[in-house]
A and B are shown apart, each in its own frame.
Chain A
Amino acid sequence: MRSHEDYCAAYWLQLLGKNCLNTGGVLSRIFGSYRDAFEAPVKMLVREAACLKEKSAELYERISDESLKDKAKEVIERAKQLGQNIVLFDEADYPALLGEYSHKPMLLFYYGDIKRVNQIAHSMGVVGSRNVTPYGKDATVKAVEVLSGRDVMIVSGMARGIDAIAHRTALDNGIFTAAVLGCGCNVVYPAENISVFKRIKEQGLILSELPPDTKPFKSHFPARNRIIAGLSELVLVTEAGTSSGALITADFALDGGRDVMSVPHRIDVPGGAGCNLLIKNGAYVYTAPGDILQAFGFDAGEGAFRQISDDALCEEERIIFRIIQNLGESNEDEIIAGQDCLDARAVRKYLTTLELCGFIKRNSCGGYSCC
């Protein structure tokens, strides 16, 4: 834990380099410590900066701009006020995996227990569409659930859709989860995720490289994605469109030498074309929760690959269950029309028994899918 002044100095150096670790990092090394650089006369700084690769006039201007120093002090003061913690890239608590990453941020604001990150052996990033179908939701839930009780944490971006589902499933299953935000740590975006936000704040970790109160601008998100990639060993991509931010995360992950796994998607639905594109380009294919266990080198065992056995079902239930299995997702009318022996009344009866036994469940599209 460094002092308040150190953090001010470090944040100022980060501002100098426009979040580029190089400039700030080199300067601090030249002067011995952040605080020395912060307090050094402008002339000296300019002279040293001249040795840097980045010799733009802008940099000199920023160095001589005293208001930047005030701004740095203000930001750190505000973070303290909000109870946000700060970690620097050269501190022990800085996530080790992110530390190996070339585009790591110099300083992170966070809520929660950052020590846990380095204690947990593995981490999986989960990214995907904001607009989820029941298929994507199911895939995500199962992929995260399977890690329950394993030494893996879940990293995601707390966005609407897949992100929120991943966090929620992790929390429900007692898996440590980290949310990397594209806004200040105290800003809840989207607001509907307030309950997830609160739970992560208490039980997990909320991270951002952006100063407190920063609004979620569109331009922040690609940079946020690089942190998600940096924190993950494996990135699971679900239902990403061809221009989805999830693909940016996948790119960053590949840059940093991380693995990418993609959930295959229907070829006639444009919503998940990005996922299929990743597979085409050589990403791992997700077919069962066991794939994830294998990717982390765990013993997957039988359970994770096993198809649900319908032996326990009666004849009528099996007919209905198979229709739903074959179609992947099906609605009442399709089931009624899809077979000849059961009328609406019987179909409804067996749908309920199947639901109660946990073989199928209602999805958000007014139909049924397998559990």
Chain B
Amino acid sequence: MDSGIITFGLKGASAYSVTAETDVRNGLPYYEIIGQGSESVKESRKRVKSAVINSGFDFPKGHVTQNLSPGDVKKYGTLFDLPLALSILSEIRRKTSAAFPAENHKAIGVMGELSLDGRVLPVKGILPCMVCGRNSRVNHFIVPEDNYRQAVLCPDIFVYPVRTLREAAEAFAMSLDLFEKTCGERLPVDSGQSRITKQTEGSKIPAPPEIPDLSDIVGQEGAKRALLIAACGNHNILMAGSPGCGKTMLATALRGILPEMTFEEYFEVLSLYDTFGLGDVIGESRERPFRIVHQGVTKHALIGGGRPIEIGDISLAHNGVLFLDEISEMQRNIVEALRLPLEERKVYINNCGIKEVLPADFMLVAAANPCPCGNLYEKPGLCTCTSNMIKTYAAKLSGAIRDRIDIKINMRSVEVKDIEKPKGACSKDVRETVKRVRGLQKVRFEDCSFKTNSGIPRVESCECCRLSAGSREIINSAVEKFGLSIRGREKTVKVARTIADIEGHGLITDDDILEALQYRIVSDEKEGVF
């Protein structure tokens, strides 16, 4: 039987090959689709049948069975409509002179949703499908016209955009040479518009607040410096300070200093967002995702999960920033759930038999008050908390999470008299520095699995983190004096590496280590303070 059409199913953030095949037998009129389809797949029957008939084709009379193989994987979504319809057409034409070329069944991947009148509608997750197809040597694709712009982002493939089932059938009937030739000429008219109306889900995500410029933030020079280092080396950062001292503003300003995503990063993020129907949020912007999470967040929303799987904030922050505002007000078990993703840079979701892996390589920016009243770091006498309250409050942030934070800064409110002070560097200039330093790291870590200084797995064995005898002595005395753990020592060296990159030092100097030591987190057992 050669009615099989190659298509794809989505699993987490990736896709797998599916073949849609058709069998028609004599019998009472009956039409069924098998292969573990979910409700939306079962409903395909009605759409396919109507679309085939309304496009002017004959629907086979008799007992029609369609199968989506592999048959043991649960399938979701509507992208099977078009391949199923093409498979029926192929089965009808098989014995006629208008049969589809046999090679097309192995070379062309098809996806798209059908409307009852035979139009082809856009679908979610077009990019993972392209990548999956390319990996299995399927380089030709028939996609809905509205998905064309995204689809062509994937290099080395031929994408043929279609508007109707009839067009799709025409495309599928072409020889591969003709297909390759024509697909380049068929640029869609106004693809952007209709896609937005279709994927309204994207609008659920609130518009990000306006980005403040670093020079608009008064004072806080120390915090700005820390933010620069964090941005350059992709270090996780914790800002502790009283309410209103500018933590949230600084975190938001980070968006203005982070460099744009590279094409690879953009592609990853877009395909991830698109898989969950949020492609429009990214659109054509190369700005890094910035996810603000407030303390009321549920574990499900943060990590992801459910059936079918929902993407969590940590994955939406992939290649970008996850900003946890008021981290110590969040439920402890929710914050603790970040442990593994922070370590592995991806999240394993195992829910009711669904086991999936989503990428979650984000920079964590956390803000917290140092005590319940928030004024601990302010002038003496302002804080009304008892030492026990402070201790309990600080203990909300477990050692495991502290361990994963490279930079910690204490902030105090800016005094009114400082408002007059000269303004610091503006975001645009700072961004140039960040770009330069990230560029250095990109070259340095070209052949590595990690991209930035914060990702260096073993500091001791890393050539770029070699310390001079003097620096080694400094850090060893700090370990003793400040009670730094081995992990704390490693973090310090990584931060020092980033500082050295900013300052243009090839080797880490003593000054870099000395500065990096100020960003340490040491949990004091007796005091238990932040």
User: Which residues of A are interface residues toward B (Cβ below 8 A)?
Assistant: 130-133, 135, 160-161, 168, 190, 192, 266, 268-271, 329, 331-334, 336-337, 343-345, 347-353, 355-356, 358, 364-367
Interface of B is mostly: mixed
Contact A349 B511 (CB under 8 A): yes
Contact B388 A366 (CB under 8 A): no
Q: Which residues of B contact A350 (CB under 8 A)?
A: 514
Q: Which residues of B contact A190 (CB under 8 A)?
A: 388
**Cβ-based interface call for B529 (8 A):** yes
Q: Which residue of B lies closest to A269 (CB)?
A: B381
Quick one: which of B348-383 are within 8 Å of A by CB?
Answer: 370, 376-377, 380-381, 383
Complex Cα gap A344–B390 (Å): 28
Q: Which residue of A lies closest to B512 (CB)?
A: A349
Closest approach, in angstroms, between the C-beta of A209 and any C-beta of chain B? 26
Q: Which residues of A contact B474 (CB under 8 A)?
A: 356
Complex Cα gap A133–B386 (Å): 10
Q: Which residue of A lies closest to B370 (CB)?
A: A366
**Contact residue among A130, A269, A344, A366 (Cβ-Cβ distance under 8 Å from B412):** A366
Contact A365 B380 (CB under 8 A): yes
**Contact residue among A132, A269, A344, A364 (Cβ-Cβ distance under 8 Å from B224):** A344
Known: A131-B386, A343-B221, A366-B240. A266 touches B518 (CB 8 A): no
Contact A132 B387 (CB under 8 A): yes
Closest approach, in angstroms, between the C-beta of B433 and any C-beta of chain A? 13
Question: B219, B390, B409, B410: which has the most chain A beta carbons within 10 Å?
Answer: B410
Q: Which residue of A lies closest to B418 (CB)?
A: A337
Closest approach, in angstroms, between the C-beta of B153 and any C-beta of chain A? 41
**Contact residue among B220, B380, B526 (Cβ-Cβ distance under 8 Å from A329):** B380
Complex Cα gap A132–B527 (Å): 11
Contact B221 A367 (CB under 8 A): no
**Cβ-based interface call for B478 (8 A):** yes
Beyond the given pairs A332-B410, A356-B477, 20 more chain A to chain B contacts, judged by CB atoms under 8 angstroms and listed by A's residue number, are A161-B387, A266-B380, A269-B381, A270-B381, A329-B380, A331-B377, A331-B410, A332-B222, A332-B518, A333-B220, A333-B223, A337-B219, A343-B221, A345-B499, A350-B514, A355-B517, A356-B474, A356-B478, A365-B377, A366-B370
Complex Cα gap A353–B421 (Å): 28
User: Which residues of B are interface residues toward A (Cβ below 8 A)?
Assistant: 219-225, 240-241, 370, 376-377, 380-381, 383, 386-388, 390-391, 409-412, 414-415, 418, 421, 474, 477-478, 481-482, 499, 511, 514-515, 517-518, 524, 526-527, 529-530
Contact B387 A336 (CB under 8 A): no
Closest approach, in angstroms, between the C-beta of A33 and any C-beta of chain B? 47
Complex Cα gap A270–B411 (Å): 24
Q: Which residues of A contact B224 (CB under 8 A)?
A: 344
In the complex, number of A-B residue pairs with CB atoms less than 8 Å apart: 104
Q: Nearest 7 A-B pairs (CB), nearest first?
A: A366-B410, A269-B381, A366-B377, A344-B225, A348-B518, A352-B514, A349-B514
Contact B527 A364 (CB under 8 A): yes
Complex Cα gap A353–B514 (Å): 7
Closest approach, in angstroms, between the C-beta of B194 and any C-beta of chain A? 50
Complex Cα gap A82–B18 (Å): 75
Complex Cα gap A130–B389 (Å): 12
Closest approach, in angstroms, between the C-beta of B514 and any C-beta of chain A? 4
Complex Cα gap A266–B380 (Å): 9
Known: A270-B381, A336-B221, A356-B478. A348 touches B418 (CB 8 A): no
Complex Cα gap A15–B205 (Å): 72
**Contact residue among A348, A352, A358 (Cβ-Cβ distance under 8 Å from B478):** A352
Complex Cα gap A332–B240 (Å): 13
Q: Which residues of B contact A343 (CB under 8 A)?
A: 221, 225
Question: A168, A270, A347: which has the most chain B beta carbons within 10 Å?
Answer: A347
Contact A365 B376 (CB under 8 A): yes
Question: A130, A349, A355: which has the most chain B beta carbons within 10 Å?
Answer: A349
Q: Which residues of A contact B414 (CB under 8 A)?
A: 333
- Interface pairs (30), CB distance under 8 Å: A130-B387, A132-B387, A133-B380, A160-B387, A161-B387, A190-B388, A269-B381, A270-B381, A271-B381, A329-B380, A331-B410, A332-B222, A332-B409, A332-B410, A332-B518, A333-B221, A333-B222, A343-B221, A344-B224, A349-B515, A350-B514, A352-B518, A356-B478, A358-B481, A365-B376, A365-B380, A365-B383, A366-B241, A366-B529, A367-B377
**Contact residue among A266, A344, A365 (Cβ-Cβ distance under 8 Å from B222):** A344
Complex Cα gap A334–B409 (Å): 14
Closest approach, in angstroms, between the C-beta of B497 and any C-beta of chain A? 15
Complex Cα gap A168–B527 (Å): 13
Complex Cα gap A355–B387 (Å): 24
Known: A348-B222, A348-B518. A366 touches B387 (CB 8 A): no
Q: Which residue of A lies closest to B482 (CB)?
A: A355
Q: Which residues of B contact A345 (CB under 8 A)?
A: 225, 499, 511, 515
**Contact residue among A131, A337, A351, A366 (Cβ-Cβ distance under 8 Å from B518):** A351
Known: A268-B381, A331-B412. A347 touches B222 (CB 8 A): yes
Closest approach, in angstroms, between the C-beta of A132 and any C-beta of chain B? 6
Q: Which residue of A lies closest to B391 (CB)?
A: A192
**Contact residue among B221, B415, B517, B526 (Cβ-Cβ distance under 8 Å from A344):** B221
Q: Which residues of B contact A348 (CB under 8 A)?
A: 222, 225, 514-515, 518
Q: Which residue of A lies closest to B513 (CB)?
A: A352
Closest approach, in angstroms, between the C-beta of A53 and any C-beta of chain B? 44
Q: Which residues of A contact B415 (CB under 8 A)?
A: 337
**Contact residue among B220, B388, B410, B481 (Cβ-Cβ distance under 8 Å from A356):** B481
Q: Which residues of B contact A336 (CB under 8 A)?
A: 221-222
Q: Which residues of A contact B530 (CB under 8 A)?
A: 366
Q: Which residues of B contact A364 (CB under 8 A)?
A: 376, 390, 524, 527, 529
Complex Cα gap A351–B516 (Å): 11
